[in-house]
């Protein structure tokens, strides 16, 4: 877990009531020593949720899943806004069914706060938050206005050091970044990152990348396809 002094700010998305507020306060206290600041009810009356979400300095959203929060208009607006801004969402299951769109990623079925398993679960949650927020920060450095050398270093690091599970989770965003960047060297490494994800979704995304491209970018796509088809490591250019 990164402990470099940078505190990660997360928004708690929940249906407001006394029970969830108590849970939120317990989570805030438990996450604080793990370098995570939990923002609870930072909205003012009359705020536009989508606009306010864009002005928050947050890097993750923790969603308390319950029948009430699933049907909450405010919670759904928060989750949709997080999705549009590519902010990682971490689900804590309190009760009721977990929506199918949230089942695509792991979630924590939280025990009572006095259960010994609560502390261990909070530590697992914190590790997940740190790893995914750090990865998301790297991806955000892949934009056309950034310097060629910076983009290349970031893309190479993602492709060679990224955890496969996280690469798979961020596959769509990696493909979007590929399309936004014209540098063939950076495209090469982004393609290899998709290959290392080694999922059917990653394979489909590779197939949708431009067929007419710089030879180096096309070589990255070719090697990535081989990694998915044969689980073979790609060679460097």
The whole-angstrom distance between residue 143's C-alpha and the CA centroid of its chain comes to 17
Which carries the bigger pLDDT value, residue 41 or residue 70? 70
| Contact predicate 69/23, CB 8 Å | no
2 φ, ψ to 5°? -70, 130
* Stretch 101-107: mean pLDDT: 71
* Stretch 126-149: mean pLDDT: 92
Domains within the chain, CATH numbers bracketed: 8-136 (3.40.50.2300), 142-230 (no CATH)
* Residue partners of 21: CB distance under 8 A and separation at least 6: 40
User: What pLDDT, on a 0 to 100 scale, did the predictor assign at position 106?
Assistant: 75
Q: Residue 7 above 70 pLDDT?
A: yes
Specify the DSSP class assigned to residue 109.
E
Give the pair of three-digit tokens for residue 191: 């393609």
Percent composition of the chain: helix, strand, coil (DSSP 3-state, to 5): 60, 10, 30
* Residue partners of 102: CB distance under 8 A and separation at least 6: 63, 65, 89, 91
Give the pair of three-digit tokens for residue 124: 């697992």
How sure is the predictor about 144, in pLDDT bands with cuts at 50, 70 and 90?
Answer: confident
Which carries the bigger pLDDT value, residue 174 or residue 76? 174
Please write the tens of the pLDDT for every residue from 33-55.
999 999 987 665 556 655 655 55
| Contact predicate 47/137, CB 8 Å | no
CA-only gyration radius of the chain, Å: 19
Which carries the bigger pLDDT value, residue 29 or residue 1? 29
| Contact predicate 64/94, CB 8 Å | yes
CA atoms of 28 and 65, how far apart (whole Å): 17
């Amino acid at each position: 877990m990164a402990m470099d002094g940078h505190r990660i700010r997360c928004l708690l998305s929940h249906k407001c009531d006394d029970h969830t507020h108590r849970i939120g306060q317990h989570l805030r206290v438990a996450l604080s020593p793990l370098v995570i600041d939990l923002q609870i009810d930072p909205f003012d009356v009359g705020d536009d949720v989508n606009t306010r979400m864009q002005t928050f300095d947050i890097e993750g959203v923790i969603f308390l899943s319950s029948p009430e929060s699933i049907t909450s208009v405010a919670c759904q607006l928060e989750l949709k806004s997080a999705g549009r801004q590519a902010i990682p969402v971490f689900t804590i299951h309190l009760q009721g069914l977990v929506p199918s769109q949230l089942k695509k990623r792991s979630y924590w079925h939280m025990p009572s706060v006095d259960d010994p398993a609560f502390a261990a679960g909070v530590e697992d949650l914190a590790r997940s938050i740190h790893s995914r927020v750090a990865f998301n920060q790297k991806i955000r450095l892949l934009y056309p206005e950034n310097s060629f050398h910076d983009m290349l270093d970031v893309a190479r690091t993602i492709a060679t050091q990224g955890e496969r599970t996280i690469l798979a989770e961020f596959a769509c965003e990696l493909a979007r970044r590929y399309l936004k960047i014209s540098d063939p060297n950076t495209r090469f490494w982004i393609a290899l990152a998709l290959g290392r994800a080694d999922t059917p979704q990653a394979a489909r995304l590779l197939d949708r990348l431009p067929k007419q491209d710089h030879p180096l970018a096309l070589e990255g796509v070719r090697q990535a396809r081989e990694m998915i088809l044969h689980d073979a490591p790609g060679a460097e250019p």
